[in-house]
Amino acid sequence: MRIEAVVGDITRERVDAIVNAANSSLMGGGGVDGAIHRAAGPGLLEECMELRRTELPDGLPVGQAVPTAGHDLPARWVIHTVGPNARRGETDPALLASCFTSSLDVAGDVGAAEVALPAVSAGVFGWAMEDVARIAVEAVKNWKPQQAGTPVELVRFVVVDEAALAAFRREI
């Protein structure tokens, strides 16, 4: 599996799946979550509302992931994961690592060979970019597919600026 990092807009990534740094409600929000919901169009919100009505009535738990269609995005899939919020005392690195490994598990389940990931929990959730980069890259490097033949071939971290890029490239 190749691992790379770029500065960019995750909503424009031409990969099989992009990962959304979602909130547990799955109803959109700010940052990456809001940008993905806006770019994907109203079908994404409708699908998330259906998930809440059926599979996830209490919302998506921290560290877990769930797929939806990409709707109006170039990516076929959006994989939603909820990062731990350090501002609320959620500072367990294992929870953050689980966001990345759970997202890759889901990517494998849906047949996504190329996956773009944001810096989950950096920014408004209060984790330092250096910590997110270290934990994320280590989690991806140590990830083992749940089943033989899981086709994840490329993991691309899509970050917001050169400082974040430098943090991820140091870890890669």
Task: Verify whether residue 92 is a known catalytic residue.
Answer: no
Two tokens at 171? 């870890």
Alpha-carbon span 33 to 79, nearest angstrom? 11
Q: Where are the beta strands (DSSP E) in the chain?
A: 2-7, 17-22, 65-69, 77-82, 114-117, 154-159
By the 10 Å C-beta count (0-12 exposed, 13-18 middle, 19+ buried), 98 is classed as: buried
Coil, strand, or helix at residue 100? helix
DSSP state of 114: E
Q: Choosing from 9, 33, 109, 161, which is the catalytic residue?
A: 33
- In the block, tokens 């190329």 appear at 114
Distance of CA 148 to the CA centre of its chain: 22
**Active-site residue set:** 33
